[in-house]
A = this chain, B = another copy of it.
């Protein structure tokens, strides 16, 4: 973990760079996986499953009985925790429902827009060392609240040929309509183009390794919508002399355990805090199971001393962190000045873990500076707007002549004619 004391402002934008990601050689491999799935469907999925996982699943679609049986494997206490998280996520994601408001632009011209659920969506949940069932909750609950008709989930099966029961359970309590034993780039291709078993969807959500990420990027060029571009996870913490060093250190470490490419940054206006936190990090990391990963992530990370909290929030807006913890005494004032961030945690007791699992806001958030233009996943991510306009004879009399003039100026006379022919008929009435 680097320490930087009062870096000059000209260097800030360099400090905001994320650890580089190598992408070149990946593209052709993922392109070939996608085109094979497009051509051969289920057979291609089985081939890739055998190639990468050692064997192909017996059936791609997870059977009802298997999903039901998964519930029996989840301890009751954990079920209660999941239920608490589910309710909070639901409560938060419900908040944004907006009623249809009709605007009368001019007499006789009524306009409105209606939010409509995307009919078919696909969720990807990675496999790997830990079963990320919390992501299944975070994606399926807003999809379900939005009213999506088909919410399918793809996840790689483990060595026992089955998806982790926690993922199956979380999916079953949050509205997923079908689950498939498919992982990797081939899962993204299957959901983007459809196979005999896996239905085609219109938008794909969820995290994944670099193959999955590249596949999402590539299917986007065919107009398949995706949640957002992906990058390694990160946190930025703003701390002052009132912050509790062992809390701040624990938060830095909780983010660092995500992966060796994670980045954690602390900004402070208090010089003493730097050493206090460094010591706490060294102390706490020894106790943690994923310390090898954490130590690698800390190499990309920094404790940065700036002149003032004002500088801290300006730096943070330039960095645009996925997670921003404001652990200073006057956190509400700084909160008002946040422009670029995915999710913000205010005050000493708001640790990122709370938001990762259960406070309510989504944990699928823009990384890599993408918070400058992207939002985290919300119910709206599973909906789209349709515009409506209704024009009466009075309306076209009021607005038609202006449209004729503008269409003429754009040299589009068929556009003009569609108005003129109506105005003429009204004048003849």
Contacts and interface: CB of A to CB of B under 8 A. Distances in A.
A344 B254 CA distance: 49
A7 interface: no
Interface stretch (A45-53, A153-161, A398-406): A398-406
Nearest to A79: B405
Nearest to A335: B388
B217 A351 contact: no
Interface in A350-372: 350-362, 365, 368-372
Contact of A251 (B254, B372, B380, B418): B418
Interface string A92-118: 100110100101011001011100101
Contacts of A166: 409
B360 A417 contact: no
A362 B287 CA distance: 56
A293 B388 CA distance: 28
A247 interface: yes
A351 B419 contact: yes
B132 A410 contact: yes
Contacts of A221: 217, 229
B409 A368 contact: no
Interface in A321-361: 331, 335, 338-361
B105 A359 contact: yes
A251 B385 CA distance: 23
Contacts of A289: 411, 413
Contacts of A384: 371, 373-375
A2 interface: no
B354 A109 contact: yes
Given A118-B373, A372-B118, A415 B343 contact: no
Contact of A354 (B244, B254, B389, B413): B389
Interface stretch (A55-63, A81-89, A181-189, A307-315): A81-89
Number of copies: 2
Contacts of A342: 386-387
A116 B341 CA distance: 10
A418 B118 contact: no
A130 B354 contact: no
Given A131-B410, A412-B130, A418-B253, A374 B95 contact: no
Contact of A353 (B246, B371, B415): B415
A372 B359 CA distance: 31
B354 A391 contact: yes
A207 to B, nearest CB: 13
Question: Which residue, A231, A372, A393, has most C-beta atoms of chain B within 10 A?
Answer: A372
Nearest to A363: B387
Contacts of A19: none
Interface in A288-309: 288-290, 294
A370 B253 contact: no
6 A-B pairs with the lowest CB-CB distances in the bound complex, closest first: A361-B387, A81-B402, A88-B105, A375-B385, A202-B373, A225-B373
Interface of A: 77-78, 80-82, 84-85, 87-88, 91-92, 95-96, 98, 101, 103, 105-106, 109, 111-113, 116, 118-119, 129-134, 166, 202-203, 217, 220-221, 223-225, 229, 231, 244, 246-247, 250-251, 253-254, 256-258, 284, 287-290, 294, 331, 335, 338-362, 365, 368-376, 378, 380, 384-393, 395-396, 399-403, 405-407, 409-419, 421-422, 425
23 contacts: A81-B403, A103-B360, A105-B359, A109-B360, A111-B359, A131-B410, A133-B409, A221-B229, A246-B421, A250-B414, A257-B415, A288-B417, A289-B411, A340-B386, A345-B389, A345-B391, A349-B422, A350-B389, A351-B418, A357-B402, A359-B391, A361-B389, A365-B387
